[in-house]
Structure 1
Amino acid sequence: MVHDHISKHFRLTETQKRALSRLKIETILDLLYHFPTRYEHSGDQKTVSGLVVGTDAILYGTIHKPQTKKSWKSKRPMSEAWLEDGTGRIKLMWFNQPYIAKMIPGGALVKISGRVEGNTSKYIANPEIEGVSELPIGGSDTVFGAQTENDELFSVYPESRGITSRWFRHAIAKILTNDVLSLCVDTIPKEVLAKYKLPKISTALVWMHQPKNERNALSARKRFAFEEIFVIQTAKQQLRKELDLEQSYTITNAKTHAEEFTSRLPFSLTHGQQHALTSIFEDIGSPHAMSRLLEGDVGSGKTAVAAAAAYAVVKTPPKERPSATLQVGYMAPTEILAEQHFQSFIQYFSHLPVQIGLITSSGCKKYPSKVNPRESTKISKGQLLKWVANGEIAVLIGTHSLISKNVQFRDLGLVIIDEQHRFGTGQRHMLIQKDGLIPHLLSMTATPIPRTLALTLYGDLDITVLDEMPPGRKKVITKIVDKTGREEMYTALRNELDAGRQAYVICPRIDEPDPRKMTALQTKSVKAEAARLSTKELRGYTVDVLHGQMKPSEKEERMRTLLAHEVDVLVATSVVEVGVNVPNATVIVIEGAERFGLAQLHQLRGRVVRSTHQSYCYALTSSGASSRRLQAFVKAKNGFELAEHDLKIRGPGELYGRSQSGLTDLGMEALTNLKMVEAARTEARNIIENDPLLKKYPALKNAIHTKKEKIHFE
């Protein structure tokens, strides 16, 4: 029964079917796992006359004057209505939801829940609303129409247009009375439940949907949060076990080669870089494939670490071809970065008889040129692919085209992925060599990832963190600027431009539910700001734009003009947070800084980290006083400190998004609990160590399979 389609047990309208589909609810089990977002206390019911601004309230009453109109500020469509309950009336407003006014006719009996706001007159913005058949007598009637104790909790569920929280309460109550709980199989092994004092699934489902008290609800939420993290951790550990069994090239004398490489560098490695290389050399020195994620702020020296590892690989010959060399593939997120890495590797390896290739959609290059051994030369794609296939090209640098089917390596020993840490096993297996060996993998990111998130989403990778900057690197001076400090900031910006430097101006993030509308609004914002600056504060300077509606080739071209100093100021959206390195850019101005997360602000600031000159970041805020978050942005030593701070303040859902992580709201909550994540990881490791194929745990195996089908998490 739990795997039956929901339509087999409920008569559904077409609207309800579409709503359930949007919520990804197909089966009875999906319905049971559609958990409440919160619980309401029956004692929270208020009257209009007793409402207090700043408090949450539940109201029952009659709807009057529902209408669709446009908000006075943004001119966006909204719904408006009045609720009357016999003691008074209050205005209700739903922004960006004009359809609500059409769904609630005048005279409808409803239950309203939301926060009371207002100064001169009270109102409730974006309240939850559901129709009721009758108004309760007194404050202790529930939406089910039965008298209950005042300490009872009522579940409030995520809704979608056409289906309400009330419908979910009734539907789940019906399912729970049908003896379906005896058919639910526990995903978490009994010994793990007992160890952490977690309720079994039948008890937890009742406590989740129909808790008698807060203790029941919290216990159930803890159990299902643990389950979600545990399933993902087990899948990751299983994947890791599979990779550990894969044979790869053994890179001998890696440390000696690295010392030879680093001795030629014009700088000394930091302790963090040395530690990272030690870990990498231990990995690639074994016959099993390395899987490592290297995290570090922009400018922390990840590329130097990657180059040292690549050097050790290209100095190692394949067993059957002692005069040849193993190959390295380096995948960059953009063509311009691929070009910059190509130039960097030429400098790193110029003293070696090593050929380096570049492959992008714009064309191909090879170093050294036969005509001029000190220069690179453009070559045809066909010729480059031929030299890659026969092993002549030792290092191939490119974008995602690096893993296309027509790129065939002879002896690929190492793959380096820059800012593409979602490189899955499917892509990796495309690179398995003809002799059956799989290349080592070094993935790198400048995105600061909180420890709990890294342990969960990248549980199949070993993680190394570069948490210090190379000596002599100037710290970006960061200032919070309110309305009174703008003119002074523009004067400082013009001084930098007059000194021959360049700058970024980042337009505010626009919150809009529809991604297409959001992109369009941000594009409009960028163009308008560029036009304004060109005629006012930055008149006489060359100003260009970069936004999300541009094609990738257009974005690349705009960044090339910036790199060539054909542009003084680039006005952009946050699409520049991961992009080309422009050492001459020394100023970044972030408008509406309070709208960005701390990790994103830090990424944006990273655009001006690489300059040899003093760099500046101006966080512009519309509010008079700067928030604690922005103060943390100014004071934090590194991105990891900021990421942990953002995790506590904004929550992981805001930071990384459900679609990116594959986690539900409940799983996201669990990421703020390091002990829970580590416990789930420990138990998952123990189970996979003793039973890699999960023969003793069929329910867990099925849960992993279901998770993989719904969300591609590799």
Structure 2
Amino acid sequence: MKPPAPLKKLGIQCIDDSPLYLPTGIEDNRNLLERFEPFLMPAGTEVVCAGVVKHHETKWSNGKPRLVITLTDYFDTVQFALFGDQRKLSEHLDTNEKVQLYAKGEVSYFNRRMFLNNTKLLMDDEVGSLKPVYPGIRGVISAASAKTVIQEFAPASIEPCAEKLVSELSVNQKIAAVLTKIIPYGVIQLCEELRALHCPASINSFDRAKKTLTRIATLQAANFAMQGNVSGLCESINGPGQISELSRHIPFNPTDEQQSCALSVVQKMAIGERSHSLLVGDVGTGKTAVIGMIARYVLLAGAQRRVVIMLPNEALAHQIFNEVSSYIPEVSASLFAGDIKGDIASQLLIGTTSLLFAGIPVVDLCVVDEAQKFSREQREKIQATHLLESSATPIPRTAALAQFGAVDVLTLRKAHTPKDVTTSIYFKEDADDLMWSVQDTLNRGAKVLIVCPKREGSGTQEKGLYSAEQIAYSLDQQFPGRVRMMHSGLSSEENERVLNEFKNEIDLLVSTSKIEVGVTVKNLRHVVVYGAERFGLTVLHQIRGRVARIAPEDGTLNWGKFDLFLPNGAKEKTMERLNALVQSNDGFAISELDMKLRGIGDLTTDSEKQHGTTSVGVQNVFLEVDKIAAAIEYVARH
């Protein structure tokens, strides 16, 4: 049976899978309080107050309303506030007498009167019960809607769901043996665990069931990771095996690292072994040269050989086309970018995602450069015998597959142009110091880039953050005539014009993260990311890659500054994430930390999830990389 639209929004394609959309917590509504005598309950205790409305009024603060309600037990009172638009409730209270409400919140006291903080109202059927809490998906479906639809379908689907999950896990005998250790009583026990999650009878049984399903999800993630290796036999490709021939038209001598990376791939091709490789290297380590050598090996093996290279934007597509086609002048090459539609009969095809719609038949090698910019479906849509992904910061899913051995990792650590970039974190109270640093950079004749999380605003701050337009206007007051702005709202021609001005005559550019990939600006020495907590680690590392890309011609230190400005501060987990950038310039190490903090994504072969909780059947479970690795080792050993 096809699932209703709300289930589809949660990524559920079959009603019987709905029990695997697990709750992330439990709400305890059992602590009912019907007497409001002061100090009867300790301050900070979470209670459900049941009382009759004695008084209510709407108050305003900073232009925002709140409905203040007083409940009575006919002797004492408790007061609380509900924020936001509460007009319907207020009208109901205006037209009805002796309305009874159930208000849940934390107890506090003032002047011997009881108050509730962080209050919400409960429905009658919620009082005295344990209720599972389900997450929504931002911008897709609310938590309340997710709860409604899962509670509607999951309880009745538990038995067929359990049978299906156990059956799928039992295909592999080794996995089935481990599953028996987790749930000795099989389907019957799994049904009990799923009921304990969706219809909890106690907090202990809920916690036990969550641990059981997490172990099952870890086991299946290990299974998918082991299946992810695409190695197998294929037709051998016999191109030139000498580095001198592979690098014939590269205008510099490849480093030992570059040679080693290229040879490790072409040697697999030569013996007829299918490959899926991940080329990891920061800006300036020469990933394009490695790609060029591997592509040259394939294309010089015969006129029937074909290579596709896919890039995330037009500027980068033009740049890579010019470079790689010059490395292999012996073959026909075509560009697919914007309005340029090349010839699919060419041996070398380079372009943006327009390649996906060009009707390209099976090719020998598909290279996906800046792979973190593409979805899994995009990266694997072009049918190729060999797949090479290239990135400074691979997305968590790819990093996980690499760590578990499903992808061969090729690492470039040495840059042709060494640089010394200092990464710092600034808070609101450090704003003057940050502006002094910007002024110092400009005084030294270098350029400054300010990156903002949002393009435009309503003239007021949103959650304490100004827009790129507002910041550009403010900076133009301080540095008149020296500031420009670029963002996705401008046409390609307008952004190209602004970027050229920044490259040649303008000192200071304000931009959204559009500038993240594929931009080289001579003498760009300083990047400030405003509201850095809004950006992911991989995006921030890519932005940092814009700094000091070209060394000074006089041979002096290739210096740079990368500053993360947090006007609103940041939570502990966010600070842990940002401090990783301060401590490391290693893109793969940063991706591994990102993987641990954000989750690995879904390792299944049809997954679109690049990070977050895995959904190997079971959803909303955060899987630890170390435990998946341990599961893989355990399964392989037994």
Category of TM-score, reference length = shorter chain: 0.7 to 0.9
Deviations 1:220-271 (A, max 9, x none): 3244335446556656766756x736x44524443x1467518965355264
Partner of 2:366: 415
Matched, 1:131 2:119: no
**Structure 1 contact 577–604 (Cα < 8 Å) conserved:** yes
SS of the equivalent of 1:266 reads: coil
- Residues 674 and 558 from structure 1, CA distance in 2 versus in 1: closer, same or farther, beyond 3 angstroms? farther
Distance in 2, Cα, partners of 1:275 & 1:199: 51
The amino acid of 1:476's aligned partner reads V
Distance in 2, Cα, partners of 1:52 & 1:453: 50
The amino acid of 1:530's aligned partner reads A
Partner of 1:575: 514
Deviations 1:499-528 (A, max 9, x none): 55332211246999xxx9x9x999981112
> Quick one: which of 567, 578, 586 aligns to 1:638?
586
> Quick one: which of 523, 528, 540 aligns to 2:481?
540
Distance in 2, Cα, partners of 1:66 & 1:510: 41
**Structure 2 contact 308–366 (Cα < 8 Å) conserved:** yes
Matched, 1:442 2:380: no
Segments of structure 2 that go 5 or more residues without pairing to the other structure are 171-175, 552-557, 602-606
The amino acid of 2:195's aligned partner reads V
Partner of 2:317: 338
> Offset at 1:580?
2.5
- Residues 592 and 442 from structure 1, CA distance in 2 versus in 1: closer, same or farther, beyond 3 angstroms? same
Segments of structure 1 that go 5 or more residues without pairing to the other structure are 6-16, 136-141, 144-152, 318-323, 364-380, 432-437, 688-714
- Residues 620 and 557 from structure 1, CA distance in 2 versus in 1: closer, same or farther, beyond 3 angstroms? same
**Structure 1 contact 277–305 (Cα < 8 Å) conserved:** yes
Matched, 1:188 2:173: no
334-343 vs 294-303, greater mean Cα deviation: 294-303
Residues 173-322 of structure 1: pairs in structure 2 closer than 5 A: 175=156, 186=166, 187-189=168-170, 190-196=176-182, 200=186, 201-211=190-200, 216-228=205-217, 244=232, 247-254=234-241, 256-257=242-243, 261=247, 266=252, 269=255, 271=257, 273-317=258-302
**Structure 1 contact 588–616 (Cα < 8 Å) conserved:** yes
SS of the equivalent of 1:293 reads: strand
SS of the equivalent of 1:670 reads: coil
The amino acid of 2:337's aligned partner reads T
Distance in 2, Cα, partners of 1:180 & 1:595: 41
**Structure 1 contact 94–100 (Cα < 8 Å) conserved:** no
Partner of 1:611: 550
Distance in 2, Cα, partners of 1:113 & 1:502: 53
Distance in 1, Cα, partners of 2:325 & 2:369: 18
Distance in 2, Cα, partners of 1:239 & 1:221: 26
> Offset at 1:174?
6.7
Matched, 1:593 2:532: yes
> Offset at 1:332?
1.0
Residues 75-154 of structure 1: pairs in structure 2 closer than 5 A: 80-82=67-69, 84=71, 86=73, 88-94=77-83, 107-112=99-104, 124-125=117-118, 129-132=121-124, 142-143=128-129, 154=131
> Offset at 1:449?
3.8
The amino acid of 1:360's aligned partner reads A
> Quick one: which of 600, 620, 631 aligns to 2:565?
620
**Structure 1 contact 420–443 (Cα < 8 Å) conserved:** yes
Partner of 1:602: 541
- Residues 112 and 216 from structure 1, CA distance in 2 versus in 1: closer, same or farther, beyond 3 angstroms? same
Deviations 1:565-622 (A, max 9, x none): 3543321223333342334322111112344344433232222152324111122222
> Offset at 1:418?
1.0
SS of the equivalent of 1:675 reads: helix
SS of the equivalent of 2:26 reads: strand
Distance in 2, Cα, partners of 1:179 & 1:161: 27
Partner of 1:672: 624
**Structure 2 contact 581–590 (Cα < 8 Å) conserved:** yes
Distance in 2, Cα, partners of 1:646 & 1:123: 38
Distance in 2, Cα, partners of 1:492 & 1:445: 31
> Offset at 1:307?
1.8
The amino acid of 1:641's aligned partner reads A
> Quick one: which of 345, 357, 370 aligns to 1:404?
357
> Offset at 1:531?
1.4
- Coordinate RMSD, CA, aligned: 5.1
The alignment of Structure 1 onto Structure 2 pairs a total of residues equal to: 595
Partner of 1:435: none
TM-score when normalising by structure 1: 0.67
SS of the equivalent of 1:618 reads: strand
- Residues 642 and 180 from structure 1, CA distance in 2 versus in 1: closer, same or farther, beyond 3 angstroms? closer
The amino acid of 1:413's aligned partner reads D
Distance in 2, Cα, partners of 1:57 & 1:669: 27
- Residues 600 and 42 from structure 1, CA distance in 2 versus in 1: closer, same or farther, beyond 3 angstroms? same
The amino acid of 1:299's aligned partner reads G
SS of the equivalent of 2:295 reads: helix
> Offset at 1:334?
0.7
